[in-house]
Amino acid sequence: MYDYRGLVVDWHPRRLVVGTEWTVTALGRSEPIAVIRRLRFGGRTVFRAVTWAPTSDGRELIGYYRTGDAAAVASWRDHVDRQAARHEATSRPHSERGRG
């Protein structure tokens, strides 16, 4: 919020955004982790989040959200959950994985 000569304005830079598609990035990664696209359904704006892949064929739906912020949070949670599952799968002791 900004106070300009007694006038309080509730403003945020995102209000200036006119794009329709954004990538979500994470530090230390060379590729994005998700893609968020703004869509209109029946006159209502929604945000669709999908996992990132070079082409649409490789992307998986994360979900549809009312706000871009909600889509970004869901994208981050999906990334963290996938990383945790990958870590869990690769860090089990050899005895649990079964030795052939």
42-70 confidence digits (pLDDT tens): 999 999 999 999 999 999 999 999 998 89
pLDDT tier, 88 (very low <50, low <70, confident <90, very high otherwise): confident
Alpha helix positions (H), the chain? 68-90, 94-97
Q: What does the pLDDT read at residue 2?
A: 46
Cβ-based neighbours of 19, under 8 Å, separated by 6 or more: 38
From CA 39, how far away is CA 51, in angstroms rounded? 17
Cβ-based neighbours of 8, under 8 Å, separated by 6 or more: 1, 2
Mean residue pLDDT of the chain comes to: 81
Ordered by start, the domain boundaries in the chain are 18-92
The model carries a pTM of: 0.71
Q: How many CA atoms does the CB half-sphere of 17 hold within 13 Å?
A: 13
13-28 confidence digits (pLDDT tens): 555 556 788 899 888 8
